[in-house]
């Protein structure tokens, strides 16, 4: 089995933080550069495919548009809310968000709960729910493709891998998000999962754990 993880292309919120004050996070569109990134990623993603593909895509506009521009042939496409970005609340006050980002950095990205949104632990829980259901679907449905494409968000991708490989929280918090349209491939050899490329680390993991 193979799971291909892809982060959405560059969105308006990535270049203009004030966009969050006037547009809901889930509705932020891709930038012109983001549209180009998504189209350019298509051939690389298609080269990883071997047979039928099931796509599970965050319902956020930037993820849905990224997926559409990849032009990947799929047998089934499922909009999956559990793969959405960490919830930072509704329309965001820029001053308040800067304070929250600082507090989150000091407290820890995994456990810090945003006042009107989620903690990293909340995202971890819903990612675990998604993985469990995906495993059941594949086990019960012989027609479900063995290759799964997930188009999601940076933090969500890292937490999905944290669950798959039982990484420590310290290790998770030491990892950086992948670049826009970056791909990570998880392959199962019948015994265990393997990650094709590690995530960049912005600092050493305090407990000394490493990525597999």
Catalytic residue numbers, as ranges: 8, 85
Q: Are 28 and 13 in contact (CB under 8 A)?
A: yes
Instruction: Report helix, strand and coil shares of the chain as percent, to nearest 5.
Output: 45, 15, 40
Q: For residue 145, what are the contacts with CB-CB under 8 A and spacing of at least 6?
A: 51, 52, 53, 54, 75, 76
- Residue 210 has a CB neighbour count (10 Å cut-off) of 12
Instruction: Return d(Cα 109, Cα 173) in angstroms, integer.
Output: 6
């Amino acid at each position: 089995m193979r799971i291909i993880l892809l982060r959405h292309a560059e969105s308006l919120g990535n270049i203009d933080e004030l966009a969050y004050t006037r547009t809901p996070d889930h509705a932020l569109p891709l930038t012109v550069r983001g549209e180009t990134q998504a189209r350019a990623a298509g051939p690389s993603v298609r080269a990883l495919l071997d047979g039928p593909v099931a796509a599970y895509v965050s319902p956020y506009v930037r993820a849905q548009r990224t997926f559409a521009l990849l032009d990947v042939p799929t047998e089934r496409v499922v909009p999956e809310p559990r793969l959405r970005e960490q919830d930072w609340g509704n329309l965001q006050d820029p001053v308040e968000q800067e304070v929250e980002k600082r507090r989150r950095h000091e407290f820890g990205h995994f456990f810090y709960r945003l006042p009107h949104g989620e903690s990293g632990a909340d995202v971890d829980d819903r990612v675990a729910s998604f993985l469990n259901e995906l495993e059941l679907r594949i086990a019960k449905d012989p027609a479900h493709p063995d290759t799964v494409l997930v188009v999601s968000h940076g933090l969500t991708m890292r937490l999905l891998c944290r669950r798959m490989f039982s990484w420590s929280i310290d290790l998770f918090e030491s990892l950086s998000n992948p670049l826009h349209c970056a791909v990570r491939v998880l392959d199962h050899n019948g015994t265990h999962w393997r990650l094709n490329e590690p995530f960049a680390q912005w600092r050493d993991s305090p407990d000394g754990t490493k990525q597999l």
